[in-house]
Structure 1
Amino acid sequence: MHYVKSTKLNKPVQLSNIPPTSAAAHQHFERVYYQVQTWLGHDLEPQVWGWAMRNDFLEPIMTILPPAPENLLNTIFCNCKSGCGSRCGCRKAGLQCSLACGQCNGQACLNALPYQSDINEDGTFDPEIMEELETNVVEDDNEDQFDIYQQPENDDEEEDD
């Protein structure tokens, strides 16, 4: 019981005081190594040393692991009334809104995952999806499921001349 009372009185944990995970530290060490090698005049590929190219800019890869185990991530959600902006609990935790979120359900907010369309920029469907659809159609054994109705030819129309 003493533990419960003492934890209620404590201030919230400051995320900046928590040490990085081993995966985040590894990415940081790779970026530091790249920086030092660049200063020494060695030409290295930044994408191999902790950097990723996004929208024509190099951005640091913070970690290759998710921020927390999947079962813990499902317990974090927000109840933002509009937009999920800078005050959003999910955003503050470094997460995207999910189906567990009260108002937005991870779909209609500023912090939702970007919509992944099946249509490419040139207006065509993704070739992998089309190939999968074609494979499913070819493998369908129920060819007799749909009967095509054909209207019988009527020779009476020619005789009415």
Structure 2
Amino acid sequence: MNVAAVRFTLTLTALCAGPVAAEDQPKAKTHQVERLMDEMLVAANAHDTDRFMAVYSNTPSLVVTFDDMTMRGWKKVRDQQLEWWNGGNSDAVYRMRSAPQITPISTDVVATLQWMDVTSTGPDGEKGAVQVVSTSIWHKLPEGWRIVVAHESLIR
């Protein structure tokens, strides 16, 4: 094979490999976040607050809004989640209504949108069901993907 043919083959290989690698990056990113969201669902159904909170940024700058209640800081969010799950004794059951939407924003930021059905016993002792929609912003930190901002709303 002559030098020109080798150069052409190497150039063609490089051009073809570049876009494939670039296309795989968002898929890898979304797959990583999707696995973490699956783990959150398992933790939520086990009412394991610490396991659930492991994917949230453990910083004072974490912001989570649930309906009209905004909490700032990982400890505040964890304490409230522990209370909602009655120290792990909740009977709430979480089920995804559909696959989450995961949208890459940049190389180290993604947004997620998910819909869930939640059944649990209310304060009146009656079993009830609600729908929840959740939007989160994930940031790739040195320790991995973490939620830095989240908003959840109950839809009855």
- Same fold at TM > 0.5: no
Scaled to the shorter chain, the TM-score interval is under 0.3
Q: Which one has the largest radius of gyration?
A: 1
The structure whose residues are more often strand, as a share, is: 2
When the two structures are superposed, what TM-score results if normalisation uses the length of structure 1?
0.23
Normalised by the size of structure 2, how large is the TM-score? 0.24
Higher relative contact order (CA 8 A, sep 6+): 2
